Structure 1
């Protein structure tokens, strides 16, 4: 049996259409972020897939910290969770929670939770006083602010790419595998391999569905042939 192109590539096309619709709705690329570490456990674990949206996408506004009077609940805790780039390692975006917003020149340790400073004061923190307007952030599982731990300086608003909305367990492992393939083989070879794999899976699925449909049709015709005349 010869499979039509629509049967062979239909699932892959459907996935592409869903991805394009998701980008249109959330207004950012990529619309999905795979979690690479356990810094946001237990709400988000390594291998989870997080759906994100542009910061300025309606009805969202600037990130709201967990210290706000009525903060939004993101990923099971108060305060927005954002994706931002750290100048310390621009190749690896960070998904962490906003603690509070700071202004240029502010000694932000006055408003900080002492338990998340690990005994440090402003003089011991490279980005205190705040060199510019921005955000103090932390990972739920880290037990310390990114800024006092040296993970990232005060996060400038230009470095905030998206807000996290919710997560889906385990689905991020596929993206992590893709990232590893790109890092090892390059974009073009990895892309060709991924497309080939998707086509193979789509074609195999279409073939199995077709076989099952043909089997049901054959059984139905056989049953019709055995029916006694009225």
Structure 2
């Protein structure tokens, strides 16, 4: 037996029409933290898209920085070369990746400093940044407020040592120790030299012999030109 009773239109309408209380207006604002986060992630609003891209880039930079710090043990892990004193191996505007001098240091490094000098490097065939020995980044006289210097560690001197005969006379501006600045050595440390400079840093009074505690790290990798952005931001 068939049911000839016509369907009730009101019942279909009630099934197909959503509850007005559940419908969201396109002009309604997000409510609650979850809705706001979803909106911020998906909206095409220009200002929000820009802020989202900036935040994403900043996060990527932070992640890369943390990875480099973990690998190098130095913060910041990179420095920009500000002068031509290390040419041709490093030029102004190059970006240099640093590493803690104690990491991966060979057994013939100077004492517990982790630094291999030019003299020892030449004997052992140890080369960094185009020549023998380590290139170090150090604070002149240990002063925190001064710009760090990136030069090669040439040899080690002991406290009160007359290091005139140990030095290469080509890089001295005197005929004996008394005529050379910081000779005898006022403290134990490294005598340093820019590969493109004519005189030792200590011989011109740029710094006393570099104590190990003044060293920020050793130069491990040079990326040409990439440091210009950093120099521009810092006004150099």
Compute the TM-score of the two structures, normalised by the length of structure 1: 0.72
Structure 2 counterpart SS, 1:151: coil
2:58 aligned to which of 9, 12, 19 = 12
- Deviation of 1:71 (Å): 5.0
SS in 1 for 2:222: strand
The match for 2:234 is 179
- Between the aligned partners of 1:139 and 1:64, the Cα distance in structure 2 is 16
What is the CA RMSD across the aligned residues, in angstroms? 2.2
Distance (whole Å) between structure 2 residues aligned to residue 156 and residue 8 of structure 1: 41
Tell me the equivalent position of 1:66: 118
Tell me the equivalent position of 2:130: 76
Between stretches 164-173 and 12-21, larger displacement belongs to 12-21
Aligned to 1:42: 88
Query: 2-side partners of 1:108 and 1:135: how far apart?
Result: 11
Cα offset for 1:153? 1.4
Task: Pick the aligned partner of 1:24 from 49, 56, 70.
Answer: 70
Query: Does the 8 Å CA contact 1:120/1:148 hold for their aligned counterparts?
Result: no
Where relative contact order (Cα < 8 A, 6+ residues apart) is larger, the structure is: 1
Q: Measure how far apart 1:8 and its partner are.
A: 5.5
CA shift in 2, pair 1:86/1:7, >3 Å: closer
Counting helix residues as a fraction of each chain, which structure ranks higher? 1
Shift of 1:129: 1.1
- Is the Cα–Cα contact under 8 Å of residues 35 and 48 in structure 1 kept in the other structure? yes
Q: 1:151 aligns with which of 203, 206, 212?
A: 206
SS at 2:203 equivalent: helix
Q: For the structure 1 residues 11 and 109, does the alpha-carbon distance in structure 2 shift closer, same or farther, using more than 3 Å as the test?
A: same
Give the drift of 1:120. 4.2
- With over 3 angstroms needed to count, the CA separation of the structure-2 counterparts of 1:71 and 1:87, relative to structure 1, is same
Structure 1 position 51 matched with structure 2 position 105: no
In structure 2, distance between residues paired with 1:59 and 1:6 = 42
Number of residue pairs matched by the alignment:
181
Q: Which runs of 5+ in 1 are unaligned?
A: 182-230
Displacement after TM superposition at 1:157 (Å): 1.5
Range with bigger deviation, 83-92 or 16-25: 83-92
Residues 114-170 of structure 1: CA deviation (Å, up to 9, x unaligned): 111134421012311112210100000012111112221111111111111121011
* Cα shift at 1:7: 5.1
Q: Does 1:97 align with 2:152?
A: yes
Deviations 1:72-94 (A, max 9, x none): 21111111000111139642110
CA shift at 1:24, angstroms?
Answer: 1.0
Structure 2 unaligned spans of 5+? 1-42
Structure ID, larger Rg: 2
